[in-house]
Amino acid sequence: MADRQQTDPAPSWWSRPEDEPEDRGTSATGGRGAAVDPGEPVAVSPPADRPPAGGDAQDRSQDEARPHDPTPPHGEPSGPDPEPSPDEAPAAGAGRERYDPWGEQPLHVVDQGARPRGVRLWRAVSLGAGTALLAGGVGGYLGVLAERQSATRLELPQVAAEDRDRAPTSVAGIAATALPGVVTLHVRGGEGSGTGTGFVLDQQGHILTNSHVVAGAEEIAVTFSTGESVTAELVGRDSGYDLAVVKVSGVRGLRPLSLGNSENVRVGDPVVAIGAPFDLSNTVTAGIISATGRPVTAGGDKGDGSDVSYVDALQTDAPINPGNSGGPLLDARAHVVGINSAIRGADKDDSGRQGGSIGLGFAIPVNQGKRVAEELIRTGRATHPVIGVTLDMQYTGDGARVGDKGADGKPSVVADGPGARAGIRPGDVITKVDGRRVRGGDELIIKIRAHRPGDPLTLTVLREGRERTLEVVLGSANGS
């Protein structure tokens, strides 16, 4: 077998083992420093359990001539290492493994040592700090968002929306039915301006209110519940009943209120009042009928009695205040049973006098209002029922006393009048009307005016200590 001599110089990165001498060719005694002929094959040292190779050439020749079996028998040590390739360098010495400078791993490796721990610790600290900042930012944003949502979307428990309709007999139901037919009146005149209430009577535009609301009016404005306003003209008024009718023109879709019957009213019945107290339009209050047949007089500012109103009134505790005058008093079926006209406040000399309602309100019965309204619409004037006598208004006893003389020296009992025909005489004291007690002259007038002209009445008269019963048919007189 021929060996190829290595003639190429060693790579620049190749280095010798540290334990080899720099020069191999000068030692003749063998050992690790023996010289090697470049042209001579180099034998590999046998393993420790085999005898060392001899120095004769014959044995070497026989070994070289013996066929090479790459697979040694079982239990025998392997043969000599394969010959080095032309690119491999011979072994550096006996007993040492050959070094292959052309192998995959060079012997010369620069030891860079372990990487500094500080770098890894810095990276860990940076990663932790970044994570903490990111988590803090996300947490802060979520906190602000939650705070904003809690501030802007705070929802408290609440019942669901329901049908807004109410029972027709409830206060809300009565108000819903009646409000479209109730109006507010703004009046201007030479004596100033004022506010009152009224309600629609028919499709022709007639509106019923109090006489004192439109007294002295030069301009009347009517405002409906929708807020629309139109001017109105006075049709007629009667101060004795404190009732008046005005009319609007060119208004469509009017909602007249239904008129009830005041004879059906009983104490304790629920009622609703609608008006504009202190110009607060469409104000609704509720109460009951506190009493019926209350004799109420109002007015009298002129001093001659021409402006005194006599009302056989319905008393209610539904709050009524200035501005409610002329508004409707409604029963549970939204029918008008009265026209709100007066209130009773505390005495004027009382330092703690209450100016508003104290629960004593009075309304003109609708039966009386209906009759007067019909007459005012038809003729512009209303008639009063009379018995044809002059009363002594200074009498302080129980009952109404017929005067001895009338106004301007005329007889106190009108000749051929209703009273004269019934047998009434000067000085008689009328104590009852249709069996109901009368305590004074004002109350007698109120009881008579609660009827129509032509109605028959039964009067109880005290004459010379004896009671007499007289039948009278009411006469008629023009109102003021």
**Which residues belong to the active site?**
212, 242, 325
With beta carbons less than 8 A apart as the criterion, state whether 414 and 405 touch: no
| Eight-state DSSP code of residue 45 | P
Dihedral (CA of 59, 60, 61, 65) sign: positive
At a CB cut-off of 8 Å and minimum separation 6, what does 111 contact? none
* Secondary structure of residue 44 in the 3-state scheme: coil
Dihedral (CA of 424, 428, 434, 440) sign: positive
With beta carbons less than 8 A apart as the criterion, state whether 348 and 280 touch: no
Run of H or E residues at 478: strand 475-478
At a CB cut-off of 8 Å and minimum separation 6, what does 107 contact? 14, 15, 17, 99, 101
For tokens 């009695």, name the residue. 305
For tokens 């620069």, name the residue. 110
Bridge partners, residue 343, by sequence: 361
| Backbone φ, ψ for residue 290 (5° rounding) | -85, -30
How many Cα atoms sit within 13 Å of 227 on the Cβ side?
Answer: 0
Determine the Cα–Cα distance for residues 15 and 11; give it in Å rounded to an integer.
Answer: 9
Residues 107, 112, 116, CA angle at the centre, nearest 5°?
A: 155
Of the candidates 42, 55, 56, 54, which has an alpha carbon nearest to the alpha carbon of residue 96? Answer: 42
In DSSP notation, 421-465 reads HHT--TT-EEEEETTEE--SHHHHHHHHHTS-TT-EEEEEEEETT
Question: What is the distance between the terminal CA atoms of the chain, rounded to a whole angstrom?
Answer: 164
Run of H or E residues at 125: helix 117-152
Determine the Cα–Cα distance for residues 380 and 428; give it in Å rounded to an integer.
Answer: 36
